[in-house]
Amino acid sequence: MPNYSARIIITLKNGVLDPQGKASAGALSGLGFEGVESVRQGKVMDVELSTSDEATARADLSAMCEKLLANTVIEDFEITALTERQMA
Amino acid sequence: MAVSVIQFPGSNRDQDMLDAMAHTTGKAPHDVWHADTALPADTQAIVLPGGFSYGDYLRCGAIAARAPIMAEVIKAAERGMPVLGVCNGFQILIEAGLLPGALMRNASLRFVCKSVDLKVECTRSTFLSGFAKDDVWSCPVAHGDGNYVCTPDMLKSLQDDDCIAVTYANNSNPNGSVADIAGITNKAGNVLGMMPHPENIALPHQPSQTGAKLFEGLLNLAA
């Protein structure tokens, strides 16, 4: 079966307060970076999987996000850089 | 009447919970391991204790909510069995989809460990049947991720369906949670999740015994 890799980017939905991002923004201002209006903190996950084809890989990754990797009440997810890996 | 307390890797309030329930109900509860695939047959109520299951990896409670025993907990909850989740247990109930919303990092970014005032908003849960609406009592909290958030639609449903069980009273909200929410029930009322720790105010040597009332509510369950 082909082997795929993908990058999943999980971000907080607009309007969800992000105290950690806010603290980082405050620290950046403290370091003298003027003009920082906001920082939003998220997660990046690199997943490798073997499956029949790219469409199945995308559907599987989406289901993984819905069921576990993201909490869709507060988070959005995006599947990026889905590519077939050439095995040596 | 038997209560099953679920123990996950990283639970650390399970023994407090077992002690509090044994003392108040007069019967030793079951200590059930997360990898078990069945609940003890005489289980009539389930409690998910506090702690840091799976090291809070991914999101608090996220991995525990997918542990083998949780399939049985979800089935029992859907049949109407009383289920209580305290602190990490509340986070697990949310991640398992038994309660709506999310619990995020405290707005202060600080771990809070102190007593706060709680107000009972609804007594539909078996665990709150010993209280009256508007009762105010002091209860300890100890958490870093107790900031309850939900969409405006979810909040309206919680209010309309009388699902807000306990709130932080007297300006004691320690985490920034929306509408001062400290605990909520599901629509049916049998599942209750709350951040504060009633098991720490239940035994004679503890500062008060108000929390014992949550477990005495179980005595009314059929033998």
- Could you read off the pLDDT of B24-79 as tens digits, one per residue? 888 899 999 999 999 999 999 999 999 998 888 888 998 999 999 999 999 999 99
pLDDT averaged over every residue in chain B:
92
Interface test with B, best of A14, A71, A72, A77 (most B CBs within 10 A): A71
DSSP state of A87: P
The pLDDT, as a whole number, for residue A81 is: 86
**Structure confidence at residue B15 (pLDDT):** 93
Note whether A65 and A12 are within 8 A (CB).
Answer: no
Alpha-helical (H) ranges within chain B are 14-25, 68-79, 88-95, 152-160, 212-216
On chain A, the residues whose CB falls within 8 A of the CB of B107 are 17, 19
**B175 neighbourhood in chain A, CB within 8 Å:** none
Active site residues of B: 87, 197, 199
Q: How many C-beta atoms lie closer than 10 Å to residue B57's C-beta?
A: 12
A84 Cα to chain B: minimum distance (Å): 26
What is residue B222's predicted lDDT score, i.e. its pLDDT? 52
Q: Which of B162, B206, B199 is nearest to B184 (CA)?
A: B162
Interface pTM (ipTM) of the complex? 0.73
Q: What is the mean pLDDT of residues A22-39?
A: 91
Question: Does residue B154 belong to the interface with chain A, where contact is any CB pair within 8 Å?
Answer: yes
Look at residue B140 and tell me whether its pLDDT is greater than 90.
yes
B151 CB within 8 Å of a chain A CB: yes
Query: How big is chain A by its Cα radius of gyration, in Å?
Result: 17
B102 touching A, CB under 8 A? yes
Q: Which of A74, A75, A76 to mutate to test the interface with B (most CBs of B within 10 A)?
A: A74
Residue at A58: amino acid letter: R
**Band of residue A16 on the pLDDT scale cut at 50, 70, 90:** confident
* Cβ–Cβ under 8 Å, residues B13 and B194: no
Closest among B124, B136, B137 to B202, alpha carbons compared: B137
Residue B157 has pLDDT above 90, yes or no: yes
Taking CB atoms and an 8 Å limit, are B149 and A73 in contact across chains?
yes
Strands (DSSP E) found in chain B:
2-7, 30-33, 43-48, 83-86, 102-104, 112-120, 136-143, 147-149, 164-168, 181-185, 191-194
pLDDT surpasses 70 at A88: no
CA distance A53 to A75: 27
Q: Between chains, do A68 and B109 touch, taking CB under 8 Å as contact?
A: no
Which chain B residue has its CA at the smallest distance from A12's CA?
B104
Buried b / exposed e along B147-180 (16+ C-beta atoms within 10 A): bbbbbeebbeebeebebbbbbbbeebbbbbbbeb
For A86, other C-beta atoms within 10 Å of its C-beta total 7
Q: Which of B78, B87, B73 is nearest to B30 (CA)?
A: B73
From the list A19, A69, A71, the residue facing B109 with the nearest CB is A19
Of A23, A69, A71, the CB nearest to B102: A71
| Segment B113-139 mean pLDDT | 93
- Integer Cα distance of A37 and B27 in angstroms: 57
